Amino acid sequence: MLYKNFSLKDKNTFGFEVFAKKFFEYESESELIDFLRENQKQPERILHIGEGSNLLFLHNFDGIVLHSKINFLETKEIDNQEVIVRVGAGIAWDRFCEMMVEKGFGGTENLSLIYGEVGAAAVQNIGAYGVEIADIIESVETIEVKTAKNRYFTVKECEYGYRESVFKKSKKGEFIVTAINFRLQKNPTLKLEYGALKTLLADNSNPTIADVRRAVISIRESKLPNPKILGNAGSFFKNPYCCKEHFEALQRQFPKMPYYPVTIGEKNFSPIQKLSAAWLIEQCGLKGHKIGGAQVYHSQPLVLVNLGNATPQNIAELSAEVQRQVKAKFSIELETEVNFIE
Ligand code: EPU
């Protein structure tokens, strides 16, 4: 379906009323291929969205917004330990987690209640409570925008890092994810290292993946605002890396500063610790800080919310203010996790 002058209010979790020149929604790979071939004749700017849970539209979008409704799910048995589940990019991520937990397949339960759709989750490498989607992906199926041809990426070729992938970096905008193959466990090993998860399940001597899912949902509901009630895009900033010398200097000044060991390094850069952006923001006294209708959320300051009357510019100004204050106090540059769409 191709719509013109289409309102994106329901297509971004900040709930901003912005318009796309065109909006195209497809239900199969072949519909997408036909669309891309047609677009090649008179190329227009393309933006592919999922649930719009990681986007800040700064104004109307002068191009075509694409959205997938590919929603199949196939289970391929491999052995008595593991199973490959192939799933269409348009399924809501949490609906997929729910179905996997119902089937008893382990791997997605720590990632419960993350907003967004399966395709975007693989681009973004969503993560929570000690698990990243990269840990359970076998391969990603895509269509190349330029050629409208299929291209298959092994998990290694996806070049996953902390909230990073090849689809956000060197091949940004070049491929559209149509399906993902997940490698899940039939006899799940639970990942319970995250403090609050361990505490919630302490009385349970034999927790199941359904118990983990319930615990994750209750932690998320207690800390994070529901975008259906208060517009937001989850964590607005990434937790920053910090080099050895800087980290030691900060620790002398702020002995209680939380930090985490880094598991994924980047080329030409040897970070030693990841700091908590939420803590840095809180120390700047920014919890609850407002600009217009935009606010730093009180129980998780990593999240910026639309109180109802915010403009996209209010959110952008608040983001810049948070970055400015954190830099002034800690000499740390916070990088946004949310994509700003010009
Ligand atoms: N903290 C504060 N003040 C607060 C809240 C938190 O100082 O008001 C500090 C505490 O030290 C706390 C620490 O921040 O221990 C970590 O907080 P939390 O466990 O909420 O995790 P996070 O590092 O802030 C990341 C992800 C979340 C994910 C959680 C849980 C990023 C950018 N965010 O947040 O992901 O749910 O870990 O694993 O990595 C998202 O991406 O949208 C998202 C919500």
* Calpha distance 334→93 (Å, rounded): 27
* pTM confidence score: 0.95
* Calpha distance 193→218 (Å, rounded): 17
Q: What pLDDT is stored for residue 262 in this prediction?
A: 75
151 in active site: no
CA of residue 254 to ligand 1 center, whole Å: 19
266 in active site: no
Query: Which residue is catalytic, options 163, 183, 276, 317?
Result: 163
Query: Which residue is catalytic, options 53, 68, 165, 235?
Result: 235
Tokens of 237: 């900033």
Cβ atoms of residues 237 and 334 within 8 Å: yes
242 Cβ closer than 6 Å to some ligand 1 atom: no
DSSP character string of 281-339: HHHTT-TT-EETTEEE-SS-TTEEEE-SS--HHHHHHHHHHHHHHHHHHH---PPBSSE
| Residue 77 burial (CB count, 10 A) | 9
151-168 CB burial, b ≥16 within 10 A, e <16:
eebebeebbbbbbbbbbb
DSSP state of 50: S
**Helix axis angle, 93-103 to 209-223, nearest 10°:** 150
Task: Decide: helix, strand or coil at residue 220.
Answer: helix
Closest ligand 1 atom to Cα of 115: 42
Minimal-distance CA residue to ligand 1 atom 24: 278
Percent residues over pLDDT 70 in the chain: 97
Render pLDDT for 115-133 as a digit per residue (tens, 0 to 9).
Answer: 999 999 999 999 999 999 9
* Calpha distance 267→170 (Å, rounded): 14
Q: What pLDDT is stored for residue 267 in this prediction?
A: 46
221 in active site: no
Minimal-distance CA residue to ligand 1 atom 36: 128
Minimal-distance CA residue to ligand 1 atom 40: 235
Closest ligand 1 atom to Cα of 277: 24
* Calpha distance 232→310 (Å, rounded): 11
238 Cβ closer than 6 Å to some ligand 1 atom: yes
129 Cβ closer than 6 Å to some ligand 1 atom: yes
Paired with 84 in beta bridges are 76, 183
Q: What pLDDT is stored for residue 75 in this prediction?
A: 97
* Calpha distance 278→302 (Å, rounded): 5
Minimal-distance CA residue to ligand 1 atom 5: 300
DSSP state of 279: H
Residues near 126 by Cβ (< 8 Å), separated by ≥ 6?
A: 93, 111, 114, 116, 132, 133, 163
Mutate to test the pocket of ligand 1, among 194, 279, 319, 338 (most ligand atoms within 8 A of CB): 279
Q: What pLDDT is stored for residue 272 in this prediction?
A: 76
235-256 CB burial, b ≥16 within 10 A, e <16:
bbbbbbbbeeebbeebeeeeee
State the first-to-last Cα distance of the chain, in angstroms, to the nearest integer.
Answer: 24
235 Cβ closer than 6 Å to some ligand 1 atom: yes
Q: What pLDDT is stored for residue 271 in this prediction?
A: 63
CA of residue 278 to ligand 1 center, whole Å: 6
Instruction: List domains and CATH numbers for the chain.
Output: 2-68 (3.30.43.10), 74-222 (3.30.465.10), 231-341 (3.90.78.10)
Cβ atoms of residues 67 and 61 within 8 Å: no
CA of residue 107 to ligand 1 center, whole Å: 21
239 Cβ closer than 6 Å to some ligand 1 atom: yes
Q: pLDDT tens for the chain, 342 residues: list them.
A: 899 999 999 999 999 999 999 999 999 999 999 999 999 999 899 999 999 999 999 999 999 999 999 999 999 988 999 999 999 999 999 999 999 999 999 999 999 999 999 999 999 999 999 999 999 999 999 999 999 999 999 999 999 999 999 999 999 999 999 999 999 999 999 999 998 999 999 999 999 999 999 999 999 999 999 999 999 999 999 999 998 899 999 999 999 999 987 755 444 556 678 999 999 999 999 999 999 999 999 999 999 999 999 999 999 999 999 999 999 999 999 999 999 999
Any alpha helices (H) in the chain, and if so which ranges? 29-41, 93-103, 118-124, 195-200, 209-223, 244-253, 277-283, 312-330
